[in-house]
Structure 1
Amino acid sequence: MSKKIRNMKTRHLKYLIVLSLFFAFGCSNTKYLPEGDFLYTGSSVKVKDSILKKNERKALEKEAEDLLVPKPNKQILGLRPKLLIYNWAGQPKKAKGIRYWLRTKVGEAPVLFSKVDLDYNASILRNFTENKGYFKTRVSADSTAKNKRASAEYTIIPKRQYKIKSIQFPTDSSDLGKSIARTSRRTLLKEGNPYDLDIIKAERERIDARLKEKGYYYFNPDYILAQVDTTKGDHEVTIKLKIKDETPDKATIPYKINKIVVYPNFSILKDSVTYKNEDIVQYKDFTIIDSAHTFKPRVFDRSLYFKKGDFYNRKNHNLTLNRFVNLGTFNFVKNEFKVSDSIKNTLDAYYYLTLLPKKFIRVEVLGKTNSASYTGTEVNVNWNNRNVFRGAELLTVSVFGGADFQLSGENKGHNIFKLGTETSLTWPRFITPFKMEGSSEFVPRTKATVRYEYQNRTQLYALNSFKTSFGYIWKDNIRKEHQLNVVDITYVSPNNVTAEYEEDILADPSLGKVIEKQLIFGTTYSYTFTNTMLKRKKNTFYFNGEVDLAGNITGLATGANIKQGDTIKIFDVPFSQYVKVKADFRHYLKLGKESELASRIIVGAGFAYGNSTTLPTTKQFVVGGTNSIRAFRARSLGPGSYQAPITSNSYLPDQSADLKLEFNTEYRAKIYGLMKGALFVDAGNIWLLNADLDKPGAEISKDIMKQIAVGAGAGLRFDFTFLILRTDLAFPLRKPYLPEGQRWVMDAIDFGSSAWRKENLILNIAIGYPF
């Protein structure tokens, strides 16, 4: 027998085995069905209409199919694994144990065809199509059964769709009628559009929302009647909107605000509020009832959007509630409006606020590993004091420490230890020489921070870092956030530089920049836009743009120009002068209910001038690592085609540069339960703006695309709700530091080779998604 024939027989045997397994799985899903019943495999809907375009007909069919009940057992690749597990587990003898858990929690009982009501589903489809304007629709239902499986088929034969001929708003002379009529220019009902009951319902909601901005607190969408007449026109309807006769009188009246009362120490455990006269504080046009005098009155003045005499307005109602919630001092916020007893057609507003604990401690313990083979832990202890000066301020004092150990790899023995503290004070307002007030539902904040960190890289050097900042954080809305640090100062000083590291500097002068003293002061601004919270949108976006300006005013004032030897020092340290910009854009494409394609592009550039020739090391860009190009070790890639040699002390130095370009794309899908999977590709690199003789090939040039690194891999994500544990296994596809013509290394991939795996496979373990 020839080798070719043996191979053919082997392939046929494999196909036979696969088909047998599929057949066995299918049989096991119908083996335990009740006698005479069938496994329900789903339904289909067919719309027979010669006028509708094909895409419109398909969309109508898809929308109609989603209404059918019940839903069949879920399928994956033609199989029903949950039903299979249900059957395999069998009937448990006790309401506990593995068998019970598999059958009731993991498995899924068969959906029987006897539970399918064809007539009921047909009526649902008939109502659905008529609500879309296809009046007098005919719907038929049928079923097909074979091999203990059954499915249902529905056929919709719609009549010609009715269009809107005209819309009439209330014409009566009442204030309410006039108010509704004035909303007509923004109506959702358009002449010539198809009749749609859902649009009519949405129009009633729209009118109600507009009236809520005009003081009609007690109005309700159900008080609007839409009279539809199909007799006037050829397949056309006229729609007349009117106020129902049974509408209560209080719903027809716009109300103004009378009293405003705030209870900032309300207890939800009590049914009523008791207080003494001395507990009452009158401030401007509102009243505070608080025996403990917990807050300064101006805290409420900035949060209340209602003023006495204003018409009730739902927008201001929601803004006020959101402001109270966003202060960060209240656990529970309740609001109540009551008709005033003293003044006709007015409302008294009451706000009941339950405090969060004033002081609390939060401890964070983190275990981590990164792509440079470092494994370690980090502890962060935060002490917080809410409302420290009775103005809803937040004082936070943190102490943190961590250690990273490399158990193998180039940096073995060069462990990293860090210890530090940070104090921040946040005010729920703008603190400026001139008056500024935020106008959104989100409270603007002023934040001052002081931070110190000591970092020790054993056998190499230590760094002392001091940082202080003062700035503002505010949101226009839930999508847009701004952060401006008017003052941002960083001072870095080296300590305990070893003789071994000094020797390495002689061989590679760029290592000396890491331990240079740095004084950075200036202004930073970042803008963030995101709509990723809109879960139903197919396409969502995230954008973050940052601008970092350091030493620019001082440089201009002093005329600093290092190229002419005019280096200006402050406290005997040259201050840094540069402009740095960075943009991070992300796109999320929803492919299905449990899958998406996430992509990111990062572009960054820093330009040193005046008093500096290069960006400070702490401000330069890096690539590689857990949240970057995962197929390369953290901070080890680039710049350009340069590859850092292992030093005489056997460690791999960090690489950084002035320019950065990075692209990532990742397919994410749910595998089972809390486990999700991902396939990803990362690409990018960093470059120096100017040539460095010690780093050949590191500068930006026309060959930028030839120096792009590419990596790929797969990962698992375990979603525990309160955190996401991520594991990624990646390997390089393109190495920019290899000679031209040899940089693509896909043909060298060999998962069976231990030598290849040791050199190329990178395991990343992290908390959260990479982007």
Structure 2
Amino acid sequence: MRKGYLYTIFFFAILMLASCSATKFVPDGSYLLDEVKVITDNKEVKPSNLRMYVRQNPNAKWFSLIKTQLYVYDLSGRDSTKWINKFLRKIGDAPVIYNESEAKRSQEEITKAVQNMGYMGASVKRVTKTKKKKLKLHYEVTTGKPYIVRTLNYDIKDSKIAEYMQKDSASTLLKEGMLFDVNVLDDERQRITDNLLRKGYYKFNKDYISYTADTVRNTYLVDLTLHLHPFKLRTEDTPREHYQYRINKINFITDYDVLQSSALSSIEINDSIHYKDYPIYYKDKLYLRPKVLTDNLRFSVGDLYNERDVQRTYTYFGRLPALKYTNIRFFETTVGDTTMLNCYVMLTKSKHKSISFELEGTNSAGDLGAAASVSFQHRNLFHGSETFMMKFRGAYEAITGLQGDYRNNNYTEYGVETSINFPSFLFPFLSSDFKRNIRATTEFGLQYSYQLRPEFSRTVASASWSYKWTQRQRTQHRIDMIDIGYLYLPWISDKFREDYINKGQNHIFEYNYKNRLIVRMGYSYNFNSAGNALINNTITSNSYSIRANIESAGNILYALSKATSLHKNNDGEYAILGIPYAQYIKGDFDFAKNIRIDHRNSLAFHAGIGIAVPYGNAKTIPFEKQYFSGGANSVRGWSVRDLGPGSFPGDGNFLNQSGDIKLDASIEYRSKLFWKFQGAAFIDAGNIWTIRDYANQPGGVFKFNKFYKQIAVAYGLGLRLDLDFFVLRFDGGMKAINPAYESGKQRWPIIHPDFSRDFAFHFAVGYPF
């Protein structure tokens, strides 16, 4: 522990020495830009909203505290040809030298931004303070009195558009008494344009909308008028009313090559068919059923052009694994004296068949092994973009630390799984329109695995039927209509049975090492406010996510057992064909929020709760459905499955460290370090509890007057390597409050730390939340 303190003191001493030379590479007559602040005299104009207009910022700080990368750069020598100096400069940041012209441009842009908010008399003053070779820069914003819209008028000579705008007037962003905010005016132009693009106005854009603003003399009042300009394709054209376009014909081209010319005449077509008056052109063979093409089309012949329906069509076709790209193009055509649109839906085929191999190393509680798998995937099995997958897996692991006579000392597993995913909602008695609108995919799956350990052999088989769908790229739903799992143990060693099962002391062992049937249903909900804009849940923007899940098992079987007066077995359980079944209900809820501080730093929060209740035909939850605490995604001061339940300190048997209730909460400060590395400082809290009081888990039962005293707390630091497509995470956690002790030094490790006792290291892929 003493060495840890010495290392910490040494580290901070190095930083202090480096800070003394922060201006080492600042030329004479120049200044290091040490600080930039935006200050406003109006609480309605927030400095954070104006930071984006600052064109020059000081060197970045780790955790908003220390300019570590600048100090690393300053540790390099003057000779740039030496490798050590090159390396230090590469991983560090060169000093930011104050630039007068950049500061002036920032001042001008901030002024313009505030004036656009309605404060047309706003001014911005630059204030600089220098000390030695360092400079602090402040932009002091004086907003003045805002301009207010006194009257609002509309100059719209196109009667049809005027009618549409009148019907949509409740959604307008403009109103009398509002600030004369240029940004709001522009948003209203875009809102009107989006609305008209949904009403057939194919060629409309927001440049046809403008404003005039007359200020009342000696006041801060504005008379605002919105103008709609007539349609003109060229300057010399005669102005006319805007056309509404209808769809004339819809054509499908299924073998479009995006690398070739987009001209229709250059697309290679060998044959065509007509399906429900839709021409479908293809090169060699039509690889998708015509009904699949028309079912994913969200507009029809004769419809008014609707930009939203076009985007929905892009989304629908984008869900089909058989397709790689989709391009929808419109061409004007004259039918009689009416101008209409011919539509071409051009599709690019994806690679339908693929084989992949995976090889991985495993480490289960120190036991090393390896696993390999091979999988085959077909993305267009029945010519309807159905995805078929089959995967074979094998694993081997050398087991150490076994005591007693077992016939082998290794673990082997063989398994196969297969699934087929249909890009539509398959369910009887539902209308075609409902199935298309819900945009769900249907998946059927089968899994089988055989596991052989020194203590027992186990077979696990399951079958599932589920639905998944996404709403607006932010909300995901999943319904498990039915998931049937069968656990079969054909062989258990006599020693294992005698030591752990026959003694009757461990209810979890007894329950989970018998043949078991689990027939469950469930629903899960996931919402992420950032949608596709979020990257690895990192510091891209403010966002939050919600996850909820509920599932139940055994209810239908229990009702059948009661209705048929089925006899119970010797353990007091109903059994189907001699196999007892589990019965429980389980619910989980998680909330996470990410707050962006600046482009390098963010603050993340997480809270979660879960409860699983056995009832009816069961006295405990199947082990796979129980909760555990500790590990890389929980309270990181404890190793995985090493915390709880309650104040139970553990007895070396991980099965005893599981529970029916779980609470988790975390706060994490994340900061970009250098290159692709990010750092984190975190505090975690949580634990698990049992619903019933079991002799082999003393102190583990949940009690309202005690549970808050049994919440464990940990703190620590983390290092993350963000490789864009995945994140490698290294976290080191220290215990702060240990609920296994009611009092004394061991309950408060934060005051009396012991590194060898209280530290836990975690390696994981992805962020903890």
2-side partners of 1:83 and 1:748: how far apart? 34
Deviates more, 1:436-445 or 1:516-525: 436-445
Structure 1 residue 557 and structure 2 residue 563: aligned? Answer: yes
1-side partners of 2:610 and 2:23: how far apart? 58
Query: 1:333·1:353 contact (CA, 8 Å) conserved in 2?
Result: yes
Aligned-partner SS, 1:502: helix
2-side partners of 1:114 and 1:182: how far apart? 53
Structure 2 residue corresponding to 1:21, chosen from 13, 17, 27: 17
Structure 1 residue 215 and structure 2 residue 203: aligned? Answer: no
Shift of 1:582: 2.6
Structure 1 residue 609 and structure 2 residue 615: aligned? Answer: yes
Structure 1 residue 294 and structure 2 residue 287: aligned? Answer: yes
Deviates more, 1:629-638 or 1:385-394: 629-638
Partner of 1:470: 465
Structure 1 residue corresponding to 2:267, chosen from 270, 273, 276: 273
2-side partners of 1:740 and 1:686: how far apart? 20
How do 1:573-612 and structure 2 match up within 5 A? 573-612=579-618
Shift of 1:693: 3.8
Deviates more, 1:470-479 or 1:619-628: 619-628
Percent identity, please.
27
Structure 1 residue 482 and structure 2 residue 474: aligned? Answer: no
Aligned-partner SS, 1:667: strand
Partner of 2:242: 252
Deviates more, 1:335-344 or 1:728-737: 728-737
Partner of 1:361: 355
Aligned-partner SS, 1:496: strand
Deviations 1:40-85 (A, max 9, x none): 44555555x6xx4xx235x2x5544542333344355776554555
Shift of 1:713: 3.0
Partner of 1:70: 56
Q: 1:38 to 1:640 in 2, by over 3 A?
A: closer
Query: 1:555·1:610 contact (CA, 8 Å) conserved in 2?
Result: no
Shift of 1:298: 1.4
Shift of 1:312: 0.9
Structure 1 residue 767 and structure 2 residue 761: aligned? Answer: no
Query: 2:245·2:340 contact (CA, 8 Å) conserved in 1?
Result: yes
Number of aligned residues: 735
2-side partners of 1:622 and 1:632: how far apart? 11
Shift of 1:260: 0.9
Query: 1:326·1:443 contact (CA, 8 Å) conserved in 2?
Result: no
2-side partners of 1:661 and 1:684: how far apart? 5
Query: 1:491·1:519 contact (CA, 8 Å) conserved in 2?
Result: yes
Partner of 1:540: 544
How do 1:708-747 and structure 2 match up within 5 A? 708-738=711-741, 744-746=747-749
1-side partners of 2:595 and 2:494: how far apart? 53
2-side partners of 1:625 and 1:226: how far apart? 60
Aligned-partner SS, 1:209: helix
Shift of 1:574: 1.6
Deviations 1:8-53 (A, max 9, x none): xxxxx999978972663134142xx1x5444444555555x6xx4x
Amino acid in the other structure paired with 2:211: A
Structure 2 residue corresponding to 1:423, chosen from 393, 418, 422: 418
Q: 1:354 to 1:549 in 2, by over 3 A?
A: same
Aligned-partner SS, 1:116: helix
Structure 2 unaligned blocks of 5 or more: 1-8, 234-238, 535-539
1-side partners of 2:452 and 2:344: how far apart? 56
Structure 1 residue 309 and structure 2 residue 302: aligned? Answer: yes
Q: 1:239 to 1:584 in 2, by over 3 A?
A: same
Q: 1:169 to 1:439 in 2, by over 3 A?
A: farther
Shift of 1:120: 4.2
How do 1:78-477 and structure 2 match up within 5 A? 80-86=67-73, 89=76, 99-100=85-86, 102-103=88-89, 105-116=90-101, 120-139=105-124, 141=126, 143-150=128-135, 152=137, 154=139, 156-231=141-216, 234-245=219-230, 247-248=232-233, 252-271=242-261, 272-276=266-270, 279-290=271-282, 291-342=284-335, 344-367=338-361, 369=363, 372-403=365-396, 416-436=411-431, 437=433, 443-457=439-453, 459-477=454-472
Amino acid in the other structure paired with 1:579: I
Shift of 1:484: 1.5
Query: 1:28·1:84 contact (CA, 8 Å) conserved in 2?
Result: no
Query: 2:54·2:106 contact (CA, 8 Å) conserved in 1?
Result: yes
Aligned-partner SS, 1:468: strand
Amino acid in the other structure paired with 2:44: E
Deviates more, 1:210-219 or 1:580-589: 580-589
Aligned-partner SS, 1:305: coil
Shift of 1:445: 0.7
Shift of 1:240: 0.8
Structure 1 residue corresponding to 2:708, chosen from 699, 705, 708: 705
Q: 1:380 to 1:134 in 2, by over 3 A?
A: same
Amino acid in the other structure paired with 2:690: L
1-side partners of 2:420 and 2:13: how far apart? 68
Query: 2:23·2:134 contact (CA, 8 Å) conserved in 1?
Result: no
Deviates more, 1:719-728 or 1:280-289: 280-289
Aligned-partner SS, 1:500: helix
Query: 2:717·2:733 contact (CA, 8 Å) conserved in 1?
Result: yes
Structure 1 residue corresponding to 2:44, chosen from 56, 81, 85: 56
Partner of 1:530: 528
Q: 1:111 to 1:480 in 2, by over 3 A?
A: closer
Query: 1:164·1:238 contact (CA, 8 Å) conserved in 2?
Result: yes
Query: 2:157·2:228 contact (CA, 8 Å) conserved in 1?
Result: no
- TM-score normalised by L of structure 1: 0.85
Deviations 1:579-629 (A, max 9, x none): 232333333343443333333333333333333333333333333333233
Amino acid in the other structure paired with 1:481: Q
Partner of 2:3: none
Q: 1:207 to 1:366 in 2, by over 3 A?
A: farther
1-side partners of 2:656 and 2:398: how far apart? 16
Aligned-partner SS, 1:448: strand
Amino acid in the other structure paired with 1:588: N
Shift of 1:526: 1.8
Q: CA RMSD in A?
A: 3.7
- TM-score normalised by L of structure 2: 0.85
Aligned-partner SS, 1:316: helix
Query: 2:56·2:103 contact (CA, 8 Å) conserved in 1?
Result: no
Query: 1:676·1:719 contact (CA, 8 Å) conserved in 2?
Result: yes
Amino acid in the other structure paired with 2:520: G
Q: 1:730 to 1:742 in 2, by over 3 A?
A: same
Partner of 1:570: 576
Amino acid in the other structure paired with 2:482: V
Shift of 1:560: 5.4
2-side partners of 1:631 and 1:126: how far apart? 50
Amino acid in the other structure paired with 1:520: I
Structure 2 residue corresponding to 1:626, chosen from 620, 625, 632: 632
Shift of 1:309: 0.8
Aligned-partner SS, 2:467: strand
Q: 1:66 to 1:100 in 2, by over 3 A?
A: same
Q: 1:596 to 1:410 in 2, by over 3 A?
A: farther
2-side partners of 1:739 and 1:423: how far apart? 50
Query: 2:72·2:92 contact (CA, 8 Å) conserved in 1?
Result: yes
Deviates more, 1:296-305 or 1:154-163: 154-163
Shift of 1:689: 2.8
Query: 2:396·2:413 contact (CA, 8 Å) conserved in 1?
Result: yes
2-side partners of 1:739 and 1:155: how far apart? 55
Deviations 1:240-259 (A, max 9, x none): 11123564469811111111
Query: 1:442·1:477 contact (CA, 8 Å) conserved in 2?
Result: no
